[in-house]
Amino acid sequence: MQNKNKKKICLIVSSLGKGGAERSAGLLSKTLHLSGHDISIVTILNRIEYDFEGRIFNLGELKEKNDSIFGKISRFLKFRAFLSKEKFDYIIDSRTRVSAKRQNLVRKFLFRSTPVIYMVRSSELVHYLGRDKNKTQAVYSLAYKIVAVTNSIAKRIKAEYGLDNVICIHNAVDLSMAPTEENIESKGDFILFYGRLNDSIKNIKGLIDAYSKSKLPAQNINFVIMGDGPDEDSLKNYAESTVCSEKISFLPHRADPFGIVKQARFTVLGSRFEGLPRSIIESLSLGVPVISSEYIGDPREILKQGENGLIVESDDTDAFASAMNSFIFDKELYERCCSNARQSISHLSLERIAEEWDKILL
> Does residue 87 sit in helix, strand or coil?
coil
What is the per-residue pLDDT across 201-215, written as a single tens digit (0 to 9) for each? Answer: 999 999 999 999 999
pTM: 0.94
Report the DSSP beta bridge partners of residue 291: 268, 310
Is residue 326 one of the residues assigned to a domain? yes
Do residues 223 and 150 share a domain?
A: no
What region does 203 belong to: left with phi over 0, alpha with psi -120 to 50, or beta?
left
Is residue 91 one of the residues assigned to a domain? yes
Do residues 169 and 191 share a domain?
A: no
What is the per-residue pLDDT across 80-126, written as a single tens digit (0 to 9) for each? Answer: 999 999 999 999 999 999 999 999 999 999 999 999 999 999 999 99
Is the separation of the CB atoms in 222 and 300 below 8 Å?
Answer: no
Contacts of 7 (CB under 8 A, 6+ apart): 37, 38, 89, 90, 361
CATH number of the domain enclosing 32:
3.40.50.2000
Is residue 180 one of the residues assigned to a domain? no
Do residues 227 and 335 share a domain?
A: yes
What is the per-residue pLDDT across 51-77, written as a single tens digit (0 to 9) for each? Answer: 999 999 999 999 999 999 999 999 999
Do residues 193 and 277 share a domain?
A: yes
Is residue 1 one of the residues assigned to a domain? no
Is residue 273 one of the residues assigned to a domain? yes
Residue 132 belongs to domain spanning: 8-173+348-358
What is the per-residue pLDDT across 165-204, written as a single tens digit (0 to 9) for each? Answer: 999 999 999 998 877 777 666 668 999 999 999 999 999 9
At residue 2, the pLDDT reads 56
Select from 133, 128, 125 the least CA-distant residue to 98.
Answer: 128
Do residues 354 and 336 share a domain?
A: no
Total domains present in the chain:
2
Indicate the residue type of 157: I
Is residue 218 one of the residues assigned to a domain? yes
What is the per-residue pLDDT across 281-329, written as a single tens digit (0 to 9) for each? Answer: 999 999 999 999 999 999 999 999 999 999 999 999 999 999 999 999 9
Do residues 46 and 163 share a domain?
A: yes
Is residue 337 one of the residues assigned to a domain? yes
Do residues 45 and 157 share a domain?
A: yes
Q: What is the rounded average pLDDT of the residues 156-167?
A: 97
Is residue 2 one of the residues assigned to a domain? no
Q: Rounded to 10 degrees, what is the CA torsion of 251, 262, 270, 169?
A: 120
DSSP secondary structure of 36-51: T-EEEEEESSS-B-S-
Is the separation of the CB atoms in 64 and 86 below 8 Å?
Answer: no
Do residues 75 and 108 share a domain?
A: yes
Do residues 229 and 296 share a domain?
A: yes
